[in-house]
Amino acid sequence: MTNRFEGKVAMVTGASRGIGLGIAERLVADGAKVCITARKQEALDEAVVALGGPDHAIAVAGQADDIEHQSNALKQAIEAFGSLDLLVNNTGLNPVYGPLLDLDLDAARKTIEVNCLAALSWVQQAHRAWMGEHGGSVVNVSSVAGLKPAPGIGFYGASKAMLSHITAELALELGPDIRVNAVAPAVVKTTFATALDEGRENEVAASYPLKRLGLPQDIDSVVAFLLSEDAACVTGQIIIVDGGLTLTGGL
């Protein structure tokens, strides 16, 4: 680990477990202070302990698509640690599985609200609270499902394609002082992805050139790179982290 984020403060959404918590752990290990969010305070409190306690992390519970929650979380981060330099939009949901013709449209609307509009709103709020005057870096967590048709999770994929496009648009609008990028993982071994690989991990992994599924640390290292000055000339990019899966033509 390095001290490349010494003096930096990060907001990581959806970070009580899985990819989000892994990202927060990596940022703390590299010197950042972090504010993490998720729905359940108890899980967040446990995550703060894992991150080293209140000297390194605070947590604010709430719904990711609640603008008042966003504003409050950003305010608390700035009050606790003095700035808001880095933002990771990790919160996402996929409440349905199946063909688009059977899609519940209320579930579809909620998917767009959380996966796309909430991420945009977090950037808007962070811009107003700190980054607009001081600059910063943003990483959105997209998905390879947004790159091509993804049977069974088609609308989730459509929402991630929209998030990737929002990423590029924001990068164009917010440069030169704010960089905006995204990562697009394939299946990562987390609770969120259990339905995609449970009981058949070896079968799923066999289609990957690297012959394994992703781990949270595979994603957090790329996110840390994109947030850091090591990526000072990188913006508007969608970095695929998929073990080579898309090389095979599959998802």
- Active site residue ranges: 156
The span from the CA of 65 to the CA of 199, in Å, is 33
Of 53, 71, 49, whose CA–CA distance to 62 is shortest? 71
- For residue 149, with 0-12 CB atoms within 10 Å meaning exposed, 13-18 middle and 19 or more buried, which class applies? exposed
Phi, then psi, of 56 in degrees rounded to 5: -115, -25
- For residue 112, with 0-12 CB atoms within 10 Å meaning exposed, 13-18 middle and 19 or more buried, which class applies? middle
The span from the CA of 180 to the CA of 182, in Å, is 7
Phi, then psi, of 184 in degrees rounded to 5: -125, 90
